[in-house]
Structure 1
Amino acid sequence: MIKSLINNFKELNYMPREKLERKLNLKPVSKYFGPKDIKASEDVVLLHEELEAIHLMDSFCMYQEDAAKKMNVSRATFARIIKSARKKISLALITGKNIKVHEVKNEFRIAICSNKQDELVYAEPDAEYIWIILIKDYKLASQSCIKNPMYKNENEATCNVLPDVLYDYKVNYFMLNDIDYDLKISLIAKGIYPMLKEKIELDSLVDIFQ
């Protein structure tokens, strides 16, 4: 009897708390910011909840406790969110990086060009393969690989082909180390946002969005 009570007590005390759903009321006017006088080498991803926290504290001058209640999170969680947001913004301003506002909450797809089918080898938009990676609840959920229609394709422009292909696969982000203006505009027109990264490792991909 006593042993049973102890086990029940342990279960009650070590049961993980259910994560509260954030209340995000701010609709981003723009999702992409960057310097005009230099070419940014990388993007910094600002989460929607981080933008909301900045808005509540710095636009409305709310106290952390009140802002936390507004977002339906604990004060400790809000403190972590606002600290992360300010760190990312300061990093972008000081080092000349782009800021990409990530509005999708829990699920998104990333496209990355690769020279290999069985291993992610970061490559240019005309590489042989395109990896499509699903991240759900900030965890790597699945990955697939498709043939790149731009591989050895000299008859069509990348900006006229890839955006449509990625759109059909419901891609949210296209990661690459460099991009020309026409491809960038064509991607954004389809709701696909380019993310500039000098190098990518599959194991640390999720960390980019945290």
Structure 2
Amino acid sequence: MARPKQCRYVSSPPIVDGFRPVGCFRRGLRETLLTYDEFETLRLADYLGMQQDEAAEQMNVSRPTFTRIYDAARKKVAHALVEGRTLNIDGGHVTFKSVKIKNDTMKKIAIPTEQGKLFGHFGRATHVTIISLENNKIVSTQSLETPKHEHGSLPKFLKENGVSDVIVNSIGQGAVNFLVKYGIEIHQGAPLEPVMDIVQQFLDGTIVYGEGQCNHHEHHHEHGKEEGHECCGKCGEHK
């Protein structure tokens, strides 16, 4: 059985999605991908000047793991600068935690749902299951119809219903930004399994997360056919 991967804490998504070289007009520039956790190591160590022990604790990783991520991040940035590459910031196995929940004994977890299972894409779900927890025990479960699909409508709906955490498979950056703004913690890359099985795995700390960051804006899903692609409901995959 695969060992569950430790989720890395990142303060919040960066304010930009990447950087492009100035004065380089060639088509087909090579790209370098800097993951969110790699970006966070640079922010903590180089921008804020934290010691690596302190920074590792902030990210919920060991000191050797932090060092490994940090070294990889610095090498990627150096390659992008020296070779004139486009630097994109995206992906990684992370949880954003802009606002910490003050009372950890009470949680409301939201899971986008279809036919009793986790639905593949957060922004396209027609229903959401909200599970109330107290001291890591389920006290209530309710299934709600999601609001009309508009920019930011679902995150706002969850905030109004007191949700503290969402468990998703794939999710667009726009939705991530709204959830972070509302202080809702994101657990992304969860498997497409029955909702209550996922909740139990969440409580046991045994969820095996995969890649869960959608690589294009949510309105692309709404108008995918007009733009020449159709989302398959999985991260970064198109027909």
Q: What TM-score do you get using the length of structure 1 for normalisation?
A: 0.46
Q: Which has the higher helix share?
A: 1
Larger Rg: 1
